[in-house]
Chains A and B, each alone.
Chain A
């Protein structure tokens, strides 16, 4: 019977090619508009480290100005001071801890033919690599001992290794940055978490840094941050040392905790730390220290932009308009065929049969609309890519994967069936005899 309905559907769609085309187009355009924005929202809000996101906690300590919060209504600062970060780091109360900041170095290749060039760099601690499960092509990160003894070691990104060492295994060799020599301990494999969760204070959709080196080395060499630095209190007069001892926040702190008991314990630990600092005249605000796992932190930082939310909403309203359009067209089509339906009913078709016939037809429109809609989504994403080509990170937001393709088709079929329900129900109500006599 299903094949018979398919055949009837094809016949009917071919009988009114313009009307059928309009319906397919309406669904396809609606799906395209909607799924383009869903895709971008999906990428922006995707989990950058799915297997570990529940184990990684971002640390916030409210060391801010007693007179006003770091951010309204009562938010603690999004980064930590050197005083607090280094204290938590050396306490080592979590399974692993990472304290880091974004900076920049000038790489001086030994080959005099290659001009020195600037690289994005991250000063971080040894746990960075195992904790964030960073894939390494060669070698490994440095160890805790290297952190403590301020060894000049470096992990290179894949591209930088290609550029300087022609893609060879460079572990054990050295590079010169700003006149200092660093020993290579590891080379990254391709790694591009989207969003770049470990530091969202800078644009969260740009690529990871190109070189990684120990935090202790960076601080000793007085290498300033390229990220945001926020201060509520003037800095003292004795240069870098004053900056380190200031109330400026400029470092990102992450800890690894397994299970709610560990989270509870660590929360108690940082609260106790804050209390202990109160006696030193710091932490004048009420206790407001926070631990957020990766996804909660992405939400908290509103990694997904408002523009995307607005466009997503418009996308769904757009689909709604397209569906209203489709319902109208389907209704028109079915009412035009009242005679045919009542004849079928008179010849013994049950309501169910009529219902199945038209739902199958609507499903065919939905699948076609969905397929065209996937193409429209692809076009929409290409359009977005062209439109936003000034943004260097746009390419990572307009990727399309199978989940999106399948959801587009699914959304199209569900939409078409939903749109078909009312007109089909009206078709079922047509009385067998009503239309035969006085047409």
Chain B
């Protein structure tokens, strides 16, 4: 369970104050697949950064799995990210010098897991995304879709409770995007909570619930409407 209560984020420069999020409140239950949409600059990415503990916020309260994570130290936040959250980025963010195997290995290393267990998990998730035959390829040797599959495998390897996806298909063509979305749906059905930020409504429709963000707030009503629409479909 993810709960944000009146979370605000203000960026300050010398002369300008930007309210990226204004008293943003949201609850996501376990097992949900939620999409977050909104125009550019609406605060989608800020929301994702805060949800993923990549950034701190100015005011409000944030609970993850019943634990208040609002004021954790940098070290504790790293540990929570490593154990509870999986990330999928728009530009994949694979480490170019590492092959597929080592890329998926990265979060497991930070968890200090034994070699045998790491190996078992890595093989399982790479098989899951269908790249078992490409273990020792470098990211640059793969297509965009394949790279995003590796990124998904990397996110899943740590067996996170939450999967945060930032425009996961933004750099992919529609066929590839489809297969990535299928994969995400499967993962969600297996029990992982997914929050996906996107600006495309068609993608958002794959989620069970859609949150519209505009001007740093949740647009009232839009979410419910969408659930209704999804139920009709």
List chain A positions with a Cβ less than 8 A from chain B: 438
Give, as a whole number of angstroms, the nearest-CB distance from A178 to chain B: 85
Give the 3 A-B residue pairs with the shortest CB-CB distance, closest first.
Answer: A438-B91, A438-B171, A438-B144
Min C-beta distance of B18 to chain A, whole Å:
26
A24, chain B: closest CB distance, angstroms: 31
The CA-CA distance from A438 to B91 in the complex, in Å, is 8
Residues of A within 8 A of B91 (CB): 438
Chain B residues near A438 (CB-CB < 8 A): 91, 144, 171
| CA A438 to CA B93, docked complex, whole Å | 11
Shortest CB-to-CB span from B173 to chain A, Å, is: 13
Q: Within B132-169, which residues are at the interface with A (CB < 8 Å)?
A: 144
* C-alpha spacing A223/B91, complex, angstroms: 95
A438 to chain B, nearest CB (A): 7
In the bound assembly, the distance between CA atoms of A179 and B171 in angstroms comes to 106
* Interface SS of A by simple majority: loop
Q: Mark B13-39, 1 if CB is under 8 A from A, else 0.
A: 000000000000000000000000000
**Whole-angstrom CA separation of A258 from B48 in the bound complex:** 94
Residues of B near any A CB (own CB < 8 A): 91, 144, 171
Assembly CA distance A164 to B16 (angstroms): 88
- Which residues of A lie under 8 Å from residue B144 when comparing CB positions? 438
Looking at the assembled complex, report how far the CB atom of A338 sits from the nearest CB atom of chain B, in whole angstroms.
12
User: What chain A residues lie within 8 Å of B171 (beta carbons)?
Assistant: 438
Chain B residue with Cβ nearest A434:
B140
A52 → B minimal CB distance (Å): 66
Determine the distance from Cα of A7 to Cα of B171 in the docked complex, in whole angstroms. Answer: 37
* Bound-complex Cα distance A438 to B144 (A): 10
Q: Which residue of B lies closest to A439 (CB)?
A: B91
A437 nearest CB across to chain B (Å): 10
A sample of 3 inter-chain contacts (CB < 8 A) reads A438-B91, A438-B144, A438-B171
Nearest-neighbor residue (CB-CB) of B171 within chain A:
A438
A438 to B141, CA, bound (A): 13
Q: Give the distance in Å from the alpha carbon of A17 to the alpha carbon of B144 in the complex.
A: 37
**Cβ-closest chain A residue relative to B91:** A438
Minimum CB–CB distance from A136 to chain B (whole Å) comes to: 76
A438 CA / B171 CA spacing, docked (Å): 9
CA distance A438 to B170 in the complex (A): 12
Tell me, in angstroms, the Cα distance from A179 to B91 when the chains sit together.
101
CA distance A438 to B148 in the complex (A): 13
Q: How far is the CB of A342 from chain B (nearest CB, A)?
A: 14
Nearest CB on B from A326, distance (A): 24
Within the complex, the shortest CB–CB distance from A439 to chain B, in Å, comes to 9
- Give min CB distance, B160 to chain A, whole Å: 26
CB closest chain-A residue, reference B139: A438
Nearest-Cβ distance from residue B147 to partner chain A, whole angstroms:
9
B143 to nearest A CB, angstroms?
11
Tell me the minimal C-beta distance from B163 to chain A in angstroms. 23
Smallest beta-carbon distance A429→chain B, Å = 15
What residue in chain A is nearest B92 (Cβ atoms)? A438
CB distance from B11 to the nearest CB of A (A): 25
Cα separation A350 to B5 with both chains bound (whole Å): 58
A438 to B143, CA, bound (A): 11
- Distance to closest chain B CB from A431 (angstroms): 12
- Give complex CA distance A13, B47 in Å: 41
B97 shortest CB reach to chain A, Å: 13
Query: Closest approach, in angstroms, between the C-beta of A339 and any C-beta of chain B?
Result: 14
In the docked arrangement, what's the CA distance between A438 and B92, Å?
11
Nearest CB on A from B92, distance (A):
9
Nearest CB of chain A from residue B172's CB, rounded to whole Å: 12
Give the distance to chain A from B228, nearest Cβ to Cβ, in Å. Answer: 39
How far is B172's CA from A438's CA once the two chains are assembled, in angstroms? 12
B32 to chain A, nearest CB (A): 32
Interchain nearest-CB distance for B107 vs A (Å): 23
Q: Which chain A residue has the least Cβ–Cβ distance from B144?
A: A438
CA distance A117 to B174 in the complex (A): 104
Nearest CB on A from B221, distance (A) = 39
Measured between alpha carbons, how far is A438 from B147 in the docked complex, in Å?
12
CA distance A355 to B171 in the complex (A): 33
